[in-house]
């Protein structure tokens, strides 16, 4: 069974490709790391998978279908820094957002929704904080709230952007335990991660990325000196020059 | 004119420091200062009014800074609070003065929309002097201002008195606004700071040139606006100045070379032309490759059958190629020339080299590389071509086992 | 009775603005609200010229069109022409406002709007424009009805759209990932801001609407961490400003709208200083 398939996926900013022809198929029921140096397009890849940035070529399939047909089965955890934590809301308010759907937006929040949200908070050990204002949370607690919101969606596939960055040891442990529980339930988790040291212990499967895909596969096959060297050994010279040319000459990856 | 020009110069720095709307707040904050100065001094002497304006202008800057530092409010909200409250106080004072029936108040409401055309001689001297001082300060501190606009951290490292310079910059901004208000009034002052700088940005990347162009925009608009309001006295000066400025800037967005919209459209058109003729040329090569000879004449219908092209497009491409002497027309048929063949070979070679590159370096399957190469073949420069050849070690075949043609 | 009507209209408008303004602040769009409030002017003038009267409906339509056009223009400048956001806002609203003023001067004879009214409104005339039915009933000032209608509409919008506004304001990307139409909520809010601006326009003028939109919500935001409380408190601050403003204006014989903005600013200052003292934080 395939969770995410990308086919020749190219994503450009101002016509310069930041991801070139990404082509992979990820399995289900695994914890999958997307790993690469800074500026290698990890976050962009997640956003492209979630349809948040326009793609210049290729396509993404989730559970062999269009994203729009399986949205309820996919959950996205954005980077913690992407929102303003001074926002006037309680932890519960945020987690309840996970119960929002396109077709229940005008309906009131139900008791069932609240129960599910409380359950999700319990899973990240944050239930006692449910009435706390989000501006009073620590970085690790913020991250756990974000993950609880995602859990409340009750999806099969979870896509998380840097959940381990800037969190305390307790949070890291809590998230790791959660991930392995989710795996036991047959869920798939895709995690963008920047730290090579810990990657080996965290993931079953990895995708090595540096504007192009260097390798993808089970960790024991991929995590070796040669491939890591290739991923972290800088960008491909010709590739980035062609990218610069495309921006300069306003050229698209596909003939229009 | 001088008023417009001096505001435009100062505006360049605000623009580059991404503090464009702060000028708007200063402009609004000046109104209560002017009114207070009038109430205290009881006269319309521009010197008093400018001092009043200067004080509240500075106060607004300090308050915006204090609000963003000590609360969770963001800078846009802080600017909004300051500009609306100060303006509200200003309006309150102004209307109060008006209702109290003070005979000499008549000039004060000119601050709202500006009336450059009706300034008295004394006014002109005072404002002119201040404007010239502003210009002199900018010229004197040009290098330092440039540095703190682009790279304040670096300026600190090399030991520039950053705080003093920021203070200077803020001071001349407040002064420029106080003076510029004479021309366009409180409400539209922001335009005098922002619009010329934004327009000038399209013409150049160099700060000195940008300042010159922005100044020219400011001066031209100042002149035109005053002229319009001079020949048609019912026309307000300020709005017309802003109108001229906006037109100049919108014109810049369209017509500036390289970065303008039209230039971008032209590049698009040029790209499309290039793609079309190169694709048609490739057709001849592919057909020739299949038949083993490039000397065969091809009819339009044969060409159409081998590639998904509209007939109009194809005909346009064929005629463009004829002009380049890469094709020759024989009756109803077309024949590729030797120079055309060389060109076709070059494109085919780039296409297949790129396929090879994607296959080897990006480890793409051979059946995934074609679409990309279709686009990239049109853009690779001769230098990149050499690099590609070398990096791939002069391959002879592409991933589909087709021969890569090298020039003899 | 006059004072009552003026304070009532002022309060109705203040509450409407405070509700919308809370969302503008949280979306970091305070200056976009400022821009819209300036930019609706040409829409009002054109509607006035076309319809030849001060009818409410054409003005609402004209202003709403211009309001949305403003957001579109700002986006065009910033995305297509790669200008920084604050500069695009500045260019757009000054340009549109200039057009509005020029139009007023151009058709000065035909348009019963003057520059002063544009700037700070004529809330004092509210009680004069009475709505009298054909059968001769006096239903009170027309503006009161319009402002009440607006407030009801906004309350309905915020009540029904609470979840939508909440999620798109806090985390747009997450909303998008859920398949929620982010653009719809953006334009709905902008449309609401334009509507509110034009209704407030006659009473408080194009520019002081900004004070109503930004200052009370900012004050409320300083002392609460809950969205619902923020909405409630900013409405309260708005009403206090309206009442206080009226009496201040009477006291020193000045513009009522200006006085309301001044009181709103004073409230902000007091709350700000109190929070500073409680945090024992020097400025």
Facing C94 at nearest CB: one of B79, B85, B188: B188
Residues B152, B68, single domain; the answer is: yes
> Which chains share 3+ C-beta pairs under 8 angstroms with B?
A, C
Contact assignment for A21 to B364 by CB distance below 8 Å: yes
CA distance B358 to chain A (A): 9
Residues B41, B114, single domain; the answer is: yes
Residue of A nearest to B72 (CA): A86
Asked if residue A116 belongs to a domain, the reply is no
Residue B81: name the closest of B17, B28, B36, B35 by CA. B28
CA distance C11 to chain B (A): 17
Structure-block tokens of residue A126 = 């944050």
Cα separations in angstroms, A66 against B13, C134, C254? 48, 60, 63
A252 vs B: CB within 8 A: yes
CA distance C30 to chain A (A): 15
Contact assignment for C177 to A83 by CB distance below 8 Å: no
Site from C172, C174, C183, C184 to mutate, A interface, most A CB atoms within 10 angstroms: C174
Asked if residue A115 belongs to a domain, the reply is no
CA A132 – CA A150 distance, rounded (Å): 19
Residues B148, B58, single domain; the answer is: yes
Q: Are C21 and C231 in contact (CB under 8 A)?
A: no
Tens-digit pLDDT profile for residues A153-190: 999 999 999 999 888 998 999 999 999 999 999 999 99
DSSP string, B24-70: HHHHHHHHHHHHHHHHHH-S--HHHHHHHHHHHHHHHHHHHHHHHHH
Domain count for chain B, please give it. 3
The bridge status of strand C138-141 relative to strand B327-330 is unpaired
Check which CATH number belongs to the domain holding C32 and give it.
1.10.3470.10
Asked if residue A194 belongs to a domain, the reply is yes
Range of the structural domain that residue B381 is part of = 341-391
Instruction: Identify all chain B residues contacting C28, using CB atoms and an 8 Å cutoff.
Output: 74, 76-77
pLDDT at C134: 66
Residue A195, pLDDT > 60, answer yes
Instruction: Identify all chain B residues contacting C271, using CB atoms and an 8 Å cutoff.
Output: none
Instruction: Identify all chain A residues contacting B368, using CB atoms and an 8 Å cutoff.
Output: 7-8, 21, 23
Facing C214 at nearest CB: one of B23, B81, B86: B81
CA distance A65 to chain B (A): 20
CA A16 – CA A38 distance, rounded (Å): 17
CA C71 – CA C68 distance, rounded (Å): 5
CA distance C156 to chain A (A): 11
Residue of B nearest to A87 (CA): B72
pLDDT at B3: 61
CA distance C192 to chain A (A): 18
Residue B249: name the closest of B206, B193, B207 by CA. B193
Instruction: Identify all chain B residues contacting C213, using CB atoms and an 8 Å cutoff.
Output: 80
Facing C31 at nearest CB: one of B79, B88, B188: B79
Q: CA B85: distance to chain centroid?
A: 32
Domain count for chain C, please give it. 1
Beta-carbon contacts of residue B400 (< 8 Å; ≥ 6 apart):
B355, B366
CA B304 – CA C97 distance, rounded (Å): 56
Tens-digit pLDDT profile for residues A87-122: 999 999 999 999 998 878 888 888 999 999 999 999
Residue where the block lists tokens 């051979």: B366
Residues B40, B151, single domain; the answer is: yes
Low-confidence ranges of chain C (pLDDT < 70): 1, 53-56, 108-139, 206-207, 280-283
CA distance B284 to chain A (A): 19
Interface of C with B in 96-135 (CB under 8 A): 97-99, 101-102, 105-106, 108, 115-116, 119-120
pLDDT at C119: 61
The bridge status of strand A212-218 relative to strand B333-336 is unpaired
Q: How many residues does chain C have?
A: 283
Instruction: Identify all chain A residues contacting B379, using CB atoms and an 8 Å cutoff.
Output: 242, 245-246, 249, 251
CA C32 – CA C209 distance, rounded (Å): 12
Residue A121: name the closest of A109, A113, A129, A110 by CA. A129
pLDDT at C92: 92
Give the phi and the psi of residue C122 in degrees, each rounded to 5: -135, 60
* Residue A218 parent element (H or E): strand A212-218
Residue where the block lists tokens 């009442």: C243
CA C259 – CA B166 distance, rounded (Å): 34
CA A86 – CA C225 distance, rounded (Å): 8
Residue where the block lists tokens 């706390």: A132
Residues B68, B182, single domain; the answer is: yes
Give the phi and the psi of residue B335 in degrees, each rounded to 5: -130, 140
Beta-carbon contacts of residue B206 (< 8 Å; ≥ 6 apart):
none
Range of the structural domain that residue C154 is part of = 2-279
Range of the structural domain that residue A42 is part of = 2-83+156-248
Asked if residue A88 belongs to a domain, the reply is no
Structure-block tokens of residue B179 = 């003076």
Facing C261 at nearest CB: one of B70, B73, B88: B88
Asked if residue A109 belongs to a domain, the reply is no
Please tell me what DSSP assigns to residue B307: S
A96: left (phi over 0), alpha (psi -120 to 50) or beta: alpha
Please tell me what DSSP assigns to residue C174: H
CA A4 – CA A50 distance, rounded (Å): 11
Check which CATH number belongs to the domain holding B368 and give it.
1.10.60.10
Facing B71 at nearest CB: one of C28, C255, C272: C272
CA B294 – CA B297 distance, rounded (Å): 8
Structure-block tokens of residue B122 = 């004394």
CA B70 – CA C85 distance, rounded (Å): 24
C33 vs B: CB within 8 A: yes
C227 vs A: CB within 8 A: yes
Q: Are B82 and B63 in contact (CB under 8 A)?
A: yes
Facing A245 at nearest CB: one of B363, B371, B379: B379
The bridge status of strand B327-330 relative to strand B333-336 is antiparallel
Facing B375 at nearest CB: one of A86, A250, A253: A253
Check which CATH number belongs to the domain holding B322 and give it.
1.10.10.10
* Residue C58 parent element (H or E): helix C56-75
Residues B292, B351, single domain; the answer is: no
Asked if residue B365 belongs to a domain, the reply is yes
Instruction: Identify all chain A residues contacting C176, using CB atoms and an 8 Å cutoff.
Output: 50-52
B163, B189, B215: which is the final residue of a domain? B189
Contact assignment for A78 to C173 by CB distance below 8 Å: yes
Beta-carbon contacts of residue B114 (< 8 Å; ≥ 6 apart):
B181, B182, B183, B184, B185, B188, B236, B237, B238, B241
CA C116 – CA B134 distance, rounded (Å): 32
3-class SS shares of chain B: helix, strand, coil, % to 5? 75, 5, 20
pLDDT at C1: 67
Check which CATH number belongs to the domain holding B181 and give it.
1.10.3470.10
Asked if residue B319 belongs to a domain, the reply is yes
Facing B249 at nearest CB: one of C91, C264, C275: C91
Residues B54, B81, single domain; the answer is: yes
CA distance A155 to chain B (A): 32
Asked if residue B251 belongs to a domain, the reply is no
Domain count for chain A, please give it. 1
Low-confidence ranges of chain B (pLDDT < 50): 103
Asked if residue A170 belongs to a domain, the reply is yes
């Amino acid at each position: 069974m395939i969770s995410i398939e990308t086919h020749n996926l190219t994503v450009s900013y101002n016509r310069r490709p930041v991801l070139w022809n990404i082509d992979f198929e990820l399995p289900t029921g695994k914890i999958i790391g997307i790993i690469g140096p800074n500026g290698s397009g990890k976050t962009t890849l997640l956003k492209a998978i979630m349809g948040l940035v326009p793609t210049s070529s290729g396509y993404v399939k989730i559970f062999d279908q269009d994203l729009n047909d399986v949205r309820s089965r996919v959950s996205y955890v954005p980077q913690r820094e992407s929102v303003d934590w001074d926002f006037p809301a309680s932890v519960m308010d945020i987690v309840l957002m996970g119960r929002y759907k396109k077709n229940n937006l005008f309906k009131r929040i139900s008791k069932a929704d609240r129960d599910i949200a409380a359950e999700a908070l319990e899973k990240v050990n944050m239930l006692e904080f449910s009435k706390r204002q989000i501006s009073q949370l620590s970085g690790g607690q913020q991250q756990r709230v974000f993950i609880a919101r995602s859990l409340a969606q009750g999806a099969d596939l979870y896509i998380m952007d840097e959940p381990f960055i800037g969190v305390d040891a307790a949070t890291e442990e809590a998230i790791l335990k959660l991930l392995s529980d989710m795996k036991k339930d047959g869920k798939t988790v895709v995690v963008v991660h920047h730290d090579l040291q810990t990657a080996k212990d965290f993931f079953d499967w990895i995708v090595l990325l540096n504007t192009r895909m260097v390798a993808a596969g089970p960790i024991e096959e991929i995590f070796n000196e040669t491939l890591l060297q290739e991923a972290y050994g800088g960008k491909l010279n010709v590739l980035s020059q062609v990218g610069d040319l495309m921006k300069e000459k306003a050229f698209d990856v596909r003939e229009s | 004119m001088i008023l417009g020009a001096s505001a435009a110069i100062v505006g360049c720095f605000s623009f580059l420091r991404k503090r464009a709307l702060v000028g708007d707040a200063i402009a609004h904050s000046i109104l209560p200062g002017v009114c207070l100065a009038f109430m205290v001094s009881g006269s319309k002497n521009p010197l008093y009014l400018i001092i009043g304006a200067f004080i509240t202008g500075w106060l607004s800057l300090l308050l915006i800074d204090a609000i963003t530092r000590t609360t969770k409010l963001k800078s846009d909200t802080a600017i909004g609070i300051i500009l609306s409250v100060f303006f509200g106080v200003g309006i309150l004072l102004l209307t109060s003065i008006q209702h109290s029936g003070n005979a000499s108040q008549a000039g004060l409401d000119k601050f709202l929309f500006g009336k450059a055309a009706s300034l008295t001689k004394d006014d002109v001297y005072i404002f002119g002097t201040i404007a010239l001082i502003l210009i002199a300060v900018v010229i004197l501190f040009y290098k330092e201002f440039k540095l703190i606009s682009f790279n304040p951290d670096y300026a600190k490292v090399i030991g520039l008195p950053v705080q003093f310079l920021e203070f200077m910059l803020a001071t001349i901004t407040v002064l420029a606004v106080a003076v510029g208000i004479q021309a366009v009034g409180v409400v539209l002052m922001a335009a005098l700071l922002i619009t010329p700088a934004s327009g000038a940005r399209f013409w150049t990347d160099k700060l000195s040139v940008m300042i010159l162009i922005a100044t020219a925009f400011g001066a031209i608009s100042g002149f035109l606006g005053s002229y319009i309001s001079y020949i048609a006295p019912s026309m307000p000066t300020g709005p017309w100045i802003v109108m001229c400025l906006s037109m100049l800037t919108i014109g810049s967005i369209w017509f500036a070379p390289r970065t303008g919209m039209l230039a971008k459209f032209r590049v698009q058109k040029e790209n499309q032309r290039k793609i079309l003729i190169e694709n048609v040329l490739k057709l001849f090569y592919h057909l020739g490759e299949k038949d083993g000879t490039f000397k065969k004449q091809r009819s339009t219908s044969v060409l159409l059958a081998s590639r998904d092209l509209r007939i109009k497009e194809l005909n346009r491409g064929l005629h463009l190629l004829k002009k380049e002497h890469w094709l020759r027309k024989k009756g109803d048929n077309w024949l590729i020339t030797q120079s055309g063949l060389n060109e076709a070979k070059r494109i085919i070679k780039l296409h297949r080299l790129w396929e090879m590159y994607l296959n080897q370096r990006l480890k793409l399957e051979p059946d995934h590389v074609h679409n990309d190469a279709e686009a990239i073949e049109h853009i690779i420069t001769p230098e990149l071509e050499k690099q590609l050849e070398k990096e791939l070690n002069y391959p002879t075949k592409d991933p589909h086992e087709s021969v890569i043609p090298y020039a003899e | 009775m006059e004072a009552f009507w003026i304070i009532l209209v002022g309060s109705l408008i203040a509450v409407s603005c405070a509700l919308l303004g809370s969302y503008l602040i949280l979306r970091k769009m305070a200056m976009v609200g400022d821009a819209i409030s300036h930019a609706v002017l040409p829409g009002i003038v054109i509607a006035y010229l076309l319809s030849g009267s001060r009818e409410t409906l054409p003005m609402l339509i004209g202003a709403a069109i211009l309001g949305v056009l403003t957001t579109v223009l700002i986006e065009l400048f910033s995305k297509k022409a790669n200008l920084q956001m604050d500069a695009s806002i500045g260019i757009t609203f000054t340009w549109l406002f200039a057009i509005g003023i020029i139009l007023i001067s151009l058709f000065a004879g035909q348009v019963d709007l003057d520059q002063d009214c544009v700037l700070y409104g004529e809330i004092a005339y509210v009680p004069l424009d009475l709505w009298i039915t054909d059968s001769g009933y006096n239903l009170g000032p027309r503006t009161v009805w319009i402002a009440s209608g607006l407030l009801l509409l906004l309350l309905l919008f915020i009540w029904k759209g609470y979840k939508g506004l909440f999620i798109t304001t806090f985390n747009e990307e997450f909303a998008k990932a859920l398949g929620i139409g982010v653009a719809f909520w953006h334009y709905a809010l902008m449309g609401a801001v334009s509507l509110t601006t034009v209704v407030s326009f006659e009473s408080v003028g194009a520019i002081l609407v900004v004070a109503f939109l930004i200052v009370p919500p900012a004050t409320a935001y300083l002392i609460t961490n809950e969205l619902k409380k923020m909405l409630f408190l900013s409405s309260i601050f708005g009403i206090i400003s309206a009442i206080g403003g009226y009496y201040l204006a009477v006291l020193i014989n000045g513009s009522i709208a200006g006085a309301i903005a001044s009181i709103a600013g004073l409230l902000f200052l007091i709350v700000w200083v109190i929070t500073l003292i409680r945090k024992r934080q020097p400025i």
